[in-house]
Structure 1
């Protein structure tokens, strides 16, 4: 089927099996500034072009009005908490623009909530006791500690940047807040063992999502972060070097080219790419689950992104990945509290329980800041992974991806 020839502001078409899907996408500028709406699916209107065009025009008008409001208040601090939050989000030198896509989304959500709740309050009239009372309400009397912790962290980040920008009264409130000892969310303790990961992989295949089976195997065996394994989508204006562009966005993450002919996976995680530059080096011959899943992938398909959604033929969107994990978790009979992101912590835990030393675990996780020659550094990381992986495999039964 040919691509529909419908023209409307923000309208994009993407190929799907048996046809095309229609989406409205905000402009790169709106995405860069944290526009609260992402892509809007409009496929149900393809057969009614007039309605499709009208929907796009309405969405475009809303976006332009939102941008116009930001432009009128851009970088303008007027002594209110709302203006401090906006300066933090909009100033071109704010660290807000350095946030990764997965982190930026909740920041935008909570910035909007904080502005709605506190925007008209003047900074100079706020004390740490006010913030303590607000925090109690944000957590729902302790029932939602993560929500309170996130709001407080964003408020402090906004005040800190305003201090840097020269708004001195923000320093007093920021420093007073730092004196508070407020309860935060408890550290996550739930981990999956190798047998549970194998069940998740089996469930992914049962749901005809082999890409997810490979993703879970890589997350668990290599201890890479989920957003490195599946990659992240960035606005086109982001400075991150990306290998894939799709419309108004681009993608960077783990690719088949990162696996060498020697069976070694070499990858610089996104978290260290702009800081220490620490690279992880993984010997896949000691990652049986990964090898089993790679063997299912035809040789000619081993190009580009490692994990590609079967439906879109593009790397997974984070929201779709998390939504499908809930289905996989249900089919596999895993605890409902287990997150897909917990597979990295599960990997480290398995290794430590198997006797791996902390230094090896740190190297495998990409936490090292060593500054020695590349040759010695590579050898240390490779041997660290081999010791780490051997410690893990020694705890597994053969039917859970271990050695006989």
Structure 2
């Protein structure tokens, strides 16, 4: 018997010894998303083609309505990795919304990649072996361990939130990621010497970007994080208090008002602003590179953000700052592996090599959680910086300018 020539959405025919059997099948997308209805047998309608076509059309419409409901409801969990990633990004109580701008950008990038790579996979079909294979692929066989580590860390965060949101089926995969021992990126060990930082500052002036020279000096001499020195751009709906607004974004970071008439820099880093509230207190009289660069800035210009792009007249965008560092690094003849963010670690390293005790280094870096009165807190932190900076300057002098 020839195959029936009846056409309808989802209709499939399969040969049997007695003739042909008719079935309606949901689409591959519906199956991936967990559509509750599987294959529907319709052989009893083969003799009535109009009824067969009508049945297929009704089943198809039901499936499309179900899929459309998922597409419209971005908060729907359908058992796939993709729905986990979407929930993590759109749910109003997700920790994703609390990420700082500098952290959010790579998260968004990797979330998009994860969705494209494994978004269609159902969580209940995955095991630790899948995790190991993903990591090997993402890490390019060990050539790019940071990429694999970052993807798994973000996926784990998304799964953890979905568990909290009531989707317990995510727990097994999250626990597999925790338990599987996978190679991660090696800790960075490259540090810059004082001479190298001065070379970078000189190169910044050579390309007529004195703001970069001041930024490098502050990063290296105060040990502040790069995103505190240059500041961060936030969306307008972010709760962070900001002093600069530009279109649909706003900025917060180091400002001239943080430098007092007593020459002390008082600043609460963004990383501790929402937790311990620990403030760093820096005696700029012991930061000669910073003082040299500040002296270049006219008094009337010392208002608002300290680090402002010469091109835009606004605080630097992180991407532009990093791109400029690559140009400065090449011009100054610095190692291509050296990042601008390494200047903070270089500061701590110089201090420790100069004999600064670990407790002082921790206080200067803003890592303490001590809870004492404001007067004692300020005095302790100021003296810690003075001991730390003195150790650095002594080491710098004994080395003839280097570390």
Q: TM-score range by the shorter chain?
A: 0.7 to 0.9
Q: Alpha-carbon deviations, 1:289-328, whole Å to 9, x = none?
A: 0000000000000000000000110000000000000010
CA contact (8 A) 1:195 1:400 kept: no
Instruction: Identify the residue that residue 367 of structure 1 maps to in structure 2.
Output: 367
Report deviation, 1:138: 0.5
Instruction: Identify the residue that residue 25 of structure 2 maps to in structure 1.
Output: none
Q: Alpha-carbon deviations, 1:215-266, whole Å to 9, x = none?
A: 0000000000000000000000111100000111000000000000000000
Counterparts of 2:176 and 2:395, CA distance in 1? 49
TM-score (norm. length: structure 2): 0.81
1:286 aligns with 2:289: no
SS of 1:396's equivalent in the other structure is helix
Counterparts of 1:202 and 1:114, CA distance in 2? 42
Report deviation, 1:400: 7.2
Q: Where in structure 2 are the equivalents of 1:12-27 lying within 5 Å?
A: none
Q: Where in structure 2 are the equivalents of 1:114-193 lying within 5 Å?
A: 114-193=114-193
Instruction: Identify the residue that residue 346 of structure 1 maps to in structure 2.
Output: 346
Q: Where in structure 2 are the equivalents of 1:20-59 lying within 5 Å?
A: none
1:232 aligns with 2:232: yes
Say which one has the larger Rg: 2
Q: Alpha-carbon deviations, 1:331-376, whole Å to 9, x = none?
A: 1110000000000000000000000000000000000000111111
Q: CA RMSD in A?
A: 1.6
Counterparts of 2:136 and 2:189, CA distance in 1? 24
Q: Alpha-carbon deviations, 1:158-206, whole Å to 9, x = none?
A: 1000000000010121112211110000000000010000000111001
Report deviation, 1:72: 2.0
Counterparts of 1:170 and 1:213, CA distance in 2? 48
1:72 aligns with 2:72: yes
Report deviation, 1:70: 9.9
Report deviation, 1:395: 1.3
Report deviation, 1:399: 10
Instruction: Identify the residue that residue 83 of structure 2 maps to in structure 1.
Output: 83
CA contact (8 A) 1:325 1:340 kept: yes
Instruction: Identify the residue that residue 102 of structure 1 maps to in structure 2.
Output: 102
Instruction: Identify the residue that residue 250 of structure 2 maps to in structure 1.
Output: 250
Counterparts of 2:114 and 2:140, CA distance in 1? 15
CA contact (8 A) 2:352 2:361 kept: yes
1:357 aligns with 2:357: yes
SS of 2:278's equivalent in the other structure is coil
SS of 2:233's equivalent in the other structure is strand
CA contact (8 A) 2:348 2:361 kept: yes
CA contact (8 A) 2:264 2:283 kept: yes
CA contact (8 A) 1:289 1:401 kept: no
Distance 1:135 1:304, change over 3 A: same
CA contact (8 A) 1:198 1:400 kept: no
Instruction: Identify the residue that residue 55 of structure 2 maps to in structure 1.
Output: none
1:268 aligns with 2:259: no
Instruction: Identify the residue that residue 296 of structure 2 maps to in structure 1.
Output: 296
CA contact (8 A) 1:234 1:251 kept: yes
Distance 1:362 1:375, change over 3 A: same
Instruction: Identify the residue that residue 387 of structure 1 maps to in structure 2.
Output: 387
Please identify runs of 4+ aligned residues in structure 1 that moved more than 3 A: 68-71, 397-402
Instruction: Identify the residue that residue 329 of structure 2 maps to in structure 1.
Output: 329
Counterparts of 1:263 and 1:372, CA distance in 2? 24
Counterparts of 2:114 and 2:73, CA distance in 1? 17
SS of 1:204's equivalent in the other structure is helix
CA contact (8 A) 1:139 1:146 kept: yes
Instruction: Identify the residue that residue 305 of structure 2 maps to in structure 1.
Output: 305
SS of 2:251's equivalent in the other structure is strand
Distance 1:401 1:239, change over 3 A: farther
Structure 2 unaligned spans of 5+: 1-67
SS of 2:141's equivalent in the other structure is coil
Structure 1 unaligned spans of 5+: 1-67
Instruction: Identify the residue that residue 259 of structure 1 maps to in structure 2.
Output: 259
CA contact (8 A) 2:308 2:314 kept: yes
Q: Alpha-carbon deviations, 1:262-295, whole Å to 9, x = none?
A: 0000000000000000000000000000000000
TM-score (norm. length: structure 1): 0.81
SS of 1:395's equivalent in the other structure is helix
